[in-house]
């Protein structure tokens, strides 16, 4: 667990650890949140203000941004320092019917996201720290007779988002004293309606009454769509800053420069010089 207080652009977090007598010891860590920061500071800030932090990876089919998952490893380690011990992942399979977890081993799968090496490193980083992993994907079966058009429909998409939110809410209710890091894909964590699409983040806040702290890593990722000259301009303007932070840096949305400050539905953004999708 963590506790924190915001003052003049800074946050003081209380970090949980073991004391010599086997009890719980707390130490203080002050994190400045003024402008561009290491991604670790976004995690510390988030858990000082909310019991749930949601962060995303970027993917398009099986093509994915390896960088977003590698940053995820850093986020897990920073969350561990903040006292977090639970990770809910969209990609995880339910270990048994009606059971979301705990999952204590890296899944053995022949293919898909969970077989990709950087995803396995992300999962392994949490397990190596003694965390428990939890599934929250909507439960549905795909067979040879499944109507593929239905799976692509907005009705099904919104059902899936609601189910994910409800499953996360059950994890929160089952252990309300423990913070939760949620790992999702692309825009699922967005906290506002997007036309007909109502994302999981919006449903979660409405259903649970908890306003999660949402970190968006996808803002500069190249999905191969239409040209985005503003991304090139942004990266050029913050190039030296990114270099100073090893190529990737984060910022609170209300401190971000245009046009990032208009990216509503999230609380913080991660910008990087590494924006390629790997097949």
Q: Where are the alpha helices (DSSP H) in the chain?
A: 39-49, 66-81, 117-128, 148-151, 154-174, 200-208, 229-237, 239-244
Q: Are strands 10-18 and 24-32 parallel, antiparallel or unpaired?
A: antiparallel
Question: What's the distance, CA 1 to chain centroid?
Answer: 18
Instruction: Name residues whose C-beta falls within 8 Å of residue 136's C-beta, 6 or more positions apart in sequence.
Output: 88, 89, 90, 92, 100, 164, 167, 168, 171, 182
Confidence (pLDDT) at 32: 66
Nearest to 2 by CA among 128, 134, 11: 11
Peptide bond into 102 cis (omega under 30): yes
To the question of domain 34-272 being in CATH 3.40.50, the answer is: yes
H helix or E strand, kind and range, residue 184: strand 180-185
Cα 204 from chain centroid? 14
State the distance between the two ends of the chain, measured CA to CA, in whole angstroms: 38
pTM: 0.90
Q: pLDDT value at position 26?
A: 41
CB distance 250 to 269 below 8 Å: yes
| Cα gap 65→100, rounded to integer Å | 26
The string of pLDDT tens digits covering residues 238-277 is 999 999 999 999 999 999 999 999 999 999 999 999 999 9
Neighbour order of strands in the sheet with 86-89 = 132-135, 86-89, 180-185, 52-57, 213-216, 268-272, 248-252
Mean pLDDT by 10 residues, the chain (279 residues): 43 50 46 89 97 98 98 98 98 97 97 98 98 97 81 94 98 96 98 97 98 98 92 97 98 97 97 98
For the chain, give every domain's residue range: 34-272
In the prediction, which pLDDT does 9 show? 53
């Amino acid at each position: 667990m963590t506790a924190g207080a915001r003052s003049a652009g800074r946050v003081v977090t209380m970090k949980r650890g073991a004391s010599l007598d086997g009890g719980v010891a707390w130490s203080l860590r002050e994190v400045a949140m003024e402008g561009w920061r290491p991604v670790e500071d976004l995690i510390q800030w988030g858990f000082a203000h909310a019991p749930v932090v949601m962060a995303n990876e970027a993917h398009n089919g099986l093509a994915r941004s390896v960088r977003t998952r590698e940053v995820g490893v850093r986020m897990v380690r920073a969350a561990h320092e903040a006292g977090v011990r639970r990770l809910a992942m969209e990609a995880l399979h339910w270990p048994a019917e009606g059971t979301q977890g705990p999952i204590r081993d890296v899944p053995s799968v022949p293919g898909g996201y969970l077989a990709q090496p950087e995803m396995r490193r992300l999962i392994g980083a949490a397990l190596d720290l003694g965390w428990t992993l939890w599934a929250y994907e909507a439960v549905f079966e795909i067979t040879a007779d499944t109507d593929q058009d239905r799976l692509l429909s907005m009705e099904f998409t919104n059902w899936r988002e609601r189910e994910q939110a409800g499953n996360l809410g059950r994890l929160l209710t089952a252990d309300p004293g423990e913070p939760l890091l949620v790992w999702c894909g692309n825009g699922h964590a967005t906290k506002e309606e997007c036309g007909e699409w109502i994302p999981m983040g919006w449903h979660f806040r409405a259903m649970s009454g908890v306003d999660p702290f949402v970190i968006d890593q996808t803002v500069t990722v190249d999905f191969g769509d239409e040209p985005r000259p503003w991304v090139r301009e942004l990266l050029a303007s913050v190039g030296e800053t990114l270099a100073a932070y090893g190529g990737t840096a984060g910022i609170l949305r209300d401190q971000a420069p245009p046009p990032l400050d208009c990216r509503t539905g999230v609380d913080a953004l991660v910008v990087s010089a590494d924006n390629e999708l790997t097949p």
